[in-house]
């Protein structure tokens, strides 16, 4: 109406027409003049015949008088309608005589429309995922329409509990906040795709399945919203690696002394371990004294120490210390063996992949060899004149020096032992540095004395019992333990009686 060639509020509505099933329309009985074609905004509203559709050329429209049919001659207005530029009609001529001499080259005013359809799909890098390890999600956005989509945004809500690590997109920008990853992809050409990759860290204690949800949207209304949302469920499997390392407090250790074993149980992950148990079978040669643990409970029975350590997170370690006493008779080495185990757990019987199990069993056992230095023992005693012949060495009874004492026997290693000692001026003899074993001590009867009472001894300090038998001038089968000083194995002698004949034989001839 105003002759400016563009749609305005002053233009007069002349006629309305519904398109046919094939999308065509026709206005007849038009007088020469300039005309505009308008598609009302109601057509594009939800529920309208053009809902979710856009012009094929977006904001750019072709001239209706361009000698081309079946091209888009319209664009969208701010009120949501679609209009064309003015087309000029002349009597008995095609719209606007363009001088080509052909009245049939430009007979239509077309509005090209297309529907928009963005879709989103996603996948995980592995299923089941491993608790304590990284998991990657790949999100693909596709523009299924024949026109460019603008303002495309993909939003990914990360599963509860996972930790965001990184994200990247094939175009646009991507950022994360509070577990929401937003990829601003911008414009996406017809038929094009954009990819977003998201890396997360699955908690080491995760057992429940993960669910990741992603959505996509653009500026243009869409004809199909069913594919604008994608879910990716992922089962989670635990996988842990327990290790046990044991050390001894002293090596070598002397028989009879205390020895402490320090046992460290560590979970190398990547997942948390449940129901962790450490079992230490003590050597037969030691005696259990006490044990402590930094976590859980301890029991001991018949030389087996059991530590119920319970839950061990990935990277966590706990320590068990065991105090023992090495037997006095040990002369070689002792071996202590420790094992650790974490029971496999079926988190969800309906999901076979949710088993927590161990990945490496080779480091679940450790043995500790400890060299034992023997606790040496001794046998000692006196040779003396038993004046009152009571078999008890008294302070006033004189010692006999220079008497040969013989030691014989077999030690616990199987060595034959044979030694000789001679009593000193105090009548004392001593056989030192003896391994545990069975020994005999024999006196060579000293000249000038009569055999008296031989008195077996005892363990120094009065503790412990000794096995032996007593014969004339012989203590036989002395059972000697390690670290024992057997004392007071005494040989009593009597003064020789002097007869008249002995006296006369010893008197000098005075003739």
Going residue by residue through the chain (511 aa), what tens digit of pLDDT does each one get? 666 656 777 777 888 888 888 888 888 878 888 888 888 888 878 888 887 777 766 555 555 555 555 566 666 777 778 887 777 777 766 555 455 556 555 567 777 777 789 999 999 999 999 999 999 999 999 999 888 899 999 999 999 999 999 999 999 999 999 999 999 999 999 999 999 999 999 999 898 899 999 999 999 888 789 999 999 999 998 888 999 999 999 999 999 899 999 999 999 989 899 889 999 999 999 999 999 999 999 999 999 999 999 999 999 999 999 999 999 888 889 999 999 987 655 444 454 444 567 778 889 899 999 999 998 999 999 999 999 999 999 999 999 999 999 999 999 889 999 999 999 999 999 999 999 999 999 999 999 999 999 999 998 866 556 789 999 999 999 999 888 899 999 999 999 765 555 555 555 555 5
Specify burial of residue 110 (Cβ count, 10 A radius: 0-12, 13-18, 19+). Answer: buried
Nearest residue to 54 (alpha-carbon basis) of 23, 75, 37, 78 = 75
Contact, 493 vs 400, CB < 8 A?
A: yes
Which H/E stretch holds residue 504?
Answer: helix 500-506
Cis peptide before 251 (omega within 30 of 0): no
pLDDT of residue 88: 76
Q: Classify 501 as helix, strand or coil.
A: helix
pLDDT of residue 83: 82
pLDDT of residue 301: 96
DSSP characters over 194-235: EEEEEEEE--TT--SPEEEEEEEE-SS-BS--TTSEEEEEE-
Nearest residue to 298 (alpha-carbon basis) of 322, 271, 317, 326 = 322
Task: Determine how many CB atoms are found less than 10 A away from the CB of residue 231.
Answer: 9
Name the DSSP class of 285: T
Q: Which CATH number fits domain 118-237: 2.60.40.1530, 2.30.42.10, 3.40.50.720, 3.20.20.140?
A: 2.60.40.1530
With a CB cutoff of 8 Å and minimum separation 6, the contacts of 168 are: 174, 196, 197
- In words, the CATH class of domain 377-495 is mainly beta
- In words, the CATH class of domain 240-373 is mainly beta
Contact, 81 vs 41, CB < 8 A?
A: yes
Nearest residue to 86 (alpha-carbon basis) of 68, 61, 50 = 61
Task: Determine how many CB atoms are found less than 10 A away from the CB of residue 474.
Answer: 16
State the Cα angle at 135 between 134 and 139, rounded to 5°.
145
> Where are the CATH 2.60.40.10 domain residues in the chain?
377-495
Identify each DSSP E strand in 414-484 by its residue range: 416-422, 428-434, 437-443, 449-455, 458-459, 469-471, 474-480
Residue in the structure block whose two tokens are 């001659």? 73
pLDDT of residue 77: 76
Q: From residue 349, give the alpha-carbon distance in Å to each of 44, 171, 379, 459, 489.
A: 52, 42, 70, 66, 75
Contact, 240 vs 273, CB < 8 A?
A: yes
Three-state SS string over 327-369 comes to CCCCCCEEEEEEEEEECCEECCCCCCCCEEEECCCCCCEEEEE
Task: Determine how many CB atoms are found less than 10 A away from the CB of residue 380.
Answer: 20
With a CB cutoff of 8 Å and minimum separation 6, the contacts of 320 are: 262, 263, 265, 278, 280, 291, 292, 293, 294, 298, 305, 307
pLDDT of residue 304: 96
Which H/E stretch holds residue 301?
Answer: strand 297-301
> Where are the CATH 2.60.40.1530 domain residues in the chain?
118-237, 240-373
Taking the model in full, what pTM does it have? 0.64
pLDDT of residue 306: 96
Task: Determine how many CB atoms are found less than 10 A away from the CB of residue 468.
Answer: 19
Cis peptide before 212 (omega within 30 of 0): no
Q: Classify 42 as helix, strand or coil.
A: helix
């Amino acid at each position: 109406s105003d002759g400016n060639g563009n749609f305005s509020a002053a233009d007069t509505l002349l006629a309305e027409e519904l398109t046919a099933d094939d999308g065509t329309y026709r206005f007849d009985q038009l007088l020469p003049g300039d005309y505009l074609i308008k598609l009302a905004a109601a057509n594009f509203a939800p529920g309208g015949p053009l809902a979710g559709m856009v012009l094929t050329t977006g904001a750019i429209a072709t001239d209706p008088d361009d000698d081309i049919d079946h091209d888009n001659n319209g664009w969208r207005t701010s009120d949501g309608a679609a209009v064309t530029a003015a087309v000029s009609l002349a009597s008995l001529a095609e719209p606007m005589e363009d001088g080509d001499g052909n009245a049939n080259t430009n007979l239509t005013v077309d509005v090209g429309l297309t529907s928009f359809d963005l879709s989103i799909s996603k996948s995980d890098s592995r299923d089941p995922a491993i608790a304590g390890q990284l998991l990657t999600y790949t999100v693909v956005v596709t523009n299924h329409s024949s026109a460019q989509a603008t303002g495309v945004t993909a939003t990914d809500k990360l599963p509860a509990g996972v930790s965001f690590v990184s994200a990247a997109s094939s175009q646009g920008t991507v950022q994360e906040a509070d577990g929401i990853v937003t990829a601003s992809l911008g414009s996406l050409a017809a038929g094009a795709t954009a990819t977003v990759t998201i890396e997360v860290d699955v908690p080491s204690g995760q057992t429940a399945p993960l669910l990741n949800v992603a959505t996509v949207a653009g500026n243009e209304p869409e004809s199909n919203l069913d594919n604008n949302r994608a879910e990716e469920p992922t089962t989670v499997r635990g996988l842990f690696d327990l290790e046990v390392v044991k050390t001894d407090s002293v090596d070598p250790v002397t028989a009879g002394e205390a020895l402490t074993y320090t046992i460290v149980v560590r979970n190398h992950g990547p997942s948390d371990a449940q129901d962790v148990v450490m079992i230490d079978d003590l050597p037969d040669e030691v005696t259990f004294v006490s044990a402590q643990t930094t976590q859980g409970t301890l029991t001991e029975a018949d030389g087996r120490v059991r530590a119920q350590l319970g839950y061990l997170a990935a990277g966590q370690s706990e320590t068990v210390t065991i105090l023992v006493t090495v037997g006095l008779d040990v002369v070689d080495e002792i071996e202590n063996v420790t094992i650790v185990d974490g029971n496999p757990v079926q988190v969800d019987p309906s999901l076979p992949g949710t088993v927590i199990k161990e990945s490496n069993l080779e480091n679940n056992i450790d043995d500790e060899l400890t060299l034992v230095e023997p606790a040496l023992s001794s046998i000692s005693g006196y040779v003396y004149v038993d004046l009152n012949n009571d078999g008890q060495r008294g302070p006033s009874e004189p010692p006999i020096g220079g008497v040969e004492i013989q030691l014989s026997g077999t030690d616990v290693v199987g060595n034959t032992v044979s030694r000789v000692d001679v009593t000193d001026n105090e009548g004392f003899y001593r056989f030192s540095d003896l391994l545990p074993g069975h020994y005999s001590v024999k006196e060579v009867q000293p000249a000038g004395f009569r055999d008296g009472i031989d008195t077996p001894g005892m363990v120094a300090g009065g503790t412990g019992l000794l096995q032996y038998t007593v014969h004339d001038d012989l203590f036989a089968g002395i059972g000697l333990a390690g670290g024992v000083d057997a004392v007071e194995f005494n040989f009593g002698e009597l003064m020789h009686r002097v007869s008249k004949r002995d006296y006369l034989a010893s008197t000098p001839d005075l003739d």
